[in-house]
Structure 1
C-alpha cells in the first residue's frame, strides 16, 4: 500500500530559487516536504513530499 500526501507532491518550478521563498510556497501547499538547498540557500533539487 502506498502512502499519498494530500496536496501538491513536487515543485520543479522552485529549483534555482531562494530556499526561504521556496519554503513559504511549499508550506502553503503541503507541509510534508523535503527541500534541498546549497550553501547559498538556493534550491538544488526538486522539492518532494515525503
Structure 2
C-alpha cells in the first residue's frame, strides 16, 4: 500500500511550526480515518506504512518540525 492509495487528506504542510496538540486535532478533524500520533524529539517511529496513521514530529517546545503525512 502507498500514500496514493489512502483516502482523504494525506499531508498537512500548513501545520509546521504549530503546537503538536493543535496539529493532532486538526489532522484528525480533516481526515477522520487517521490517528495522529505525536513523536517527541529522539523518538523513532515504526517503519511499517499505514493509511490510518500520521506521525507528528515535534521539537522540545512541542511544535511540529516536519510536514505531517499519512504513513
- Measured against the shorter chain, the TM-score band is 0.7 to 0.9
CA RMSD of aligned residues (A): 1.5
For structure 1, the 5+ residue unaligned runs are none
- The gaps in structure 2 that reach 5 residues or longer are 35-52
How many pairs does the alignment contain?
50
Could you state the TM-score of these two structures normalised by the residue count of structure 2? 0.63
Name the larger-Rg structure. 2
> Highest relative contact order (Cα 8 Å, sep 6+), 1 or 2?
1
Match of 2:68 in 1: 47
Which protein has the bigger strand share?
2
TM superposition outliers: structure 1 runs of 4+ over 2 Å: none
Higher helix share: 1
| TM, length-normalised to structure 1 | 0.85
2:58 to 17, 37, 41: 37
